[in-house]
Amino acid sequence: MNDFSVKSVLKKNVMTMALFGIYVLFVILAFLLKSTNMLEPSIVSSLIEQNAYVFVLGAGMLMCMLTGGNIDLSVGSVVCFVGAIVGLFSVENRIIHMPLSVPVVLLIAIGVGVAYGSLLGFLIAYVRIPPWIATLAGYLAFRGLGTQILTKASETNAISIPSTDALGELSDIFSGRLFETDWGEINIPCIIMGLIGIAVFAFLTISARRKKIVKGYQADPLWYVVTKLVLVSLVILFFTVEFSFDGGMPTVVLWILGVLILYGIVTEKTTIGRHFMTVGGNAEAARLSGINNKRVMFFAYFNMAILTVIAALIVTVRTGAANSFAGQEYELDAIAACIVGGVSAYGGAGTVIGMVVGATLIGVINQGMSLIGVDQNWIKIVKGLVLLAAVVFEIFSKNSKAKASKTKTQKEKTAELEDAIAKAQEELEKASDEALNEDPAVPSAENVVTTES
Partner 1 sequence: MAKVLLEMNSITKTFPGVKALDNVNLKVEEGEIHALVGENGAGKSTLMNVLSGIYPYGSYTGDIIYDGEVCMFHNIKDSEKKGIVIIHQELALIPYMTIGENMFLGNEQGSKWCIDWNKTYAEADKYLEMVGLTDSSKTLIKDIGTGKQQLVEIAKALAKHAKLLILDEPTSSLNETDSRALLDLMKKLKGEGMTMIIISHKLNEVSYVADKITVVRDGSTIETLDAATDDISETRIIKGMVGREITDRFPKRHDIVLGDVMMEVNDWTVYHPEFSERKVCDNVSINVRAGEVVGIYGLMGAGRTELAMSIFGRSYGIGISGELRLRGEPVTLRSPKAAIDAGLAYVTEDRKGNGLVLSNSILRNTTLANLNGVSSGTFIDKDKEYEVAKEYVEKLRTKTPSVEQLVGNLSGGNQQKVLLAKWMFANPDVLILDEPTRGIDVGAKYEIYCIINDLAKAGKSVIMISSELPEVIGMSDRIYIMNQAKIVGEMNASEATQENIMACIVGVSGDNSADGEGSEA
Binding region for partner 1 (CB under 8 A) = 1-2, 211-212, 215, 217, 269-272, 274, 277-278, 281-282, 284-292, 344, 348-349, 405, 411-412, 414-426, 428-433, 435-436, 440-441, 445, 447-448, 450, 453
Of 338, 381, 344, 377, which Cα lies nearest the Cα of 361? 338
Q: How far is CA 64 from CA 121, 289, 349, in A?
A: 11, 21, 11
Nearer to partner 1, 42 or 425 (CB): 425
| Shortest reach from residue 9's CB to partner 1, in Å | 15
Nearer to partner 1, 273 or 363 (CB): 273
Q: Which is nearest to 77 in space by CA: 161, 160, 155, 134?
A: 134
For residue 220, the minimal CB distance to partner 1 (Å) is 12
Shortest reach from residue 280's CB to partner 1, in Å: 9
Name the minimum Å distance from CB 432 to partner 1. 5
| Sequence-ordered alpha helix ranges (H) in 126-187 | 131-153, 168-174
Residues 6+ apart with CB under 8 A from 356: 55, 58, 260, 341
Report the alpha-carbon distance of residue 21 to residue 15 in Å, rounded.
10
Alpha helical stretches, state H, 154-250 = 168-174, 188-215, 222-244
The smaller minimum CB distance to partner 1, of residues 277 and 357, is found at: 277
Residue 156 or 450: which CB sits closer to partner 1? 450
Q: How many residues does the chain have?
A: 453
Interatomic CA distance for residues 219 and 224, integer angstroms:
10
Least distance to partner 1 from the beta carbon of 405, Å?
A: 5
Task: Output 40 or 418, the one with its CB closest to partner 1.
Answer: 418
**What's the min distance (Å) between Cβ of 150 and partner 1?**
41
Q: Are 194 and 238 in contact (CB under 8 A)?
A: no
Minimum distance, C-beta of residue 162 to partner 1, in the bound complex (Å): 42
**Could you give the CA distance from residue 249 to residue 242 in angstroms, rounded to a whole number?**
9
